[in-house]
Amino acid sequence: MKAIIIAAGQGKRIPQITKKKPKCLIKINNKTIIKRQIDFFRDLKISKIAVVRGFKKKKINYKSITYYDNKNYKKNEQLDSLFYAKKFFDDDIIVCFSDIIYEKKILNQFIKTKKNFALAIDKKWKNRYINRFDHPHSQADKVIMKNGKVLKIGKKIATHKCNGEFLGIFKFSKLIGPILIKNYIKIKKTCSSKSLQMHDFFNYLVKKKIIIYSSCVKGKYMEIDTFNDYQIAKRIFK
């Protein structure tokens, strides 16, 4: 298995920290978010790791990492960033957004998933939003799932209709990689929006009858999107 960390974004909602460095280089407990992820992967014997860079890319510079550069990061989103690394899709792949911090046990649980294509889901996600005054429920990547399969995902889903939140971690097998590339090319041709989100792609795949499984995990987790998120993360991960 290989790992891809998507780290091309600017982190515009935390200008206090991200004017001069990518958001993934925020330090929690004296370690950057991205280095924490890299260490987790290596602890799990996943040694082949790629990072997709964009904003201030030269500042992301760790040894024994394969780098892919999203030169158009100002105009596109995480979906496009992922496919800058499509040459890396020659093995089973686990993908992780770079602005999330989590306990290692979440990764341990998720890595055991045997499905060809799965998303890491938190069923008890609502409690995490209690003190997020500038990051409400409406901004969560909410998921509707049934019988272990993802039916719909996105921010526009009503909170009372969903039964989980996507954590920004997913995996797909070597067999699924070419299918994703093929469908990415199709959605780019058929969709007028230049800034497709990852959840747009997942919904497109579900409509194409490609099964995406839900893998429910438990543990400490925080997406760092605002300065308040950062302060909460520092308390959670002392």
Q: What tokens were used for 16?
A: 């206090």
**What's the DSSP call for residue 36?**
H
Q: What percent of the chain has pLDDT over 70?
A: 99
Torsion angle (degrees, nearest 10) of CA 22, 90, 106, 125: 70
Domain that holds residue 89: 2-236
Q: What tokens were used for 73?
A: 């990061």
**What's the pLDDT tens digit per position in 38-94?**
999 999 999 999 999 999 999 999 999 999 999 999 888 899 999 999 999 999 999
pTM assigned to the model:
0.95
CB atoms under 10 Å from CB of 77, counted, come to 20
Q: Give the total number of structural domains in the chain.
A: 1
Pairing of strands 31-32, 27-28: antiparallel
Quick one: average pLDDT of 119-125? 95
Q: What angle do CA 204, 219, 115 make, to 5 degrees?
A: 40
**What's the pLDDT tens digit per position in 129-154?**
888 888 778 889 999 999 999 999 99
| Residue 43: CATH number of its domain | 3.90.550.10
Distance CA 211, CA 43 (A): 30
For 94, phi then psi, to 5°, come to -115, 130
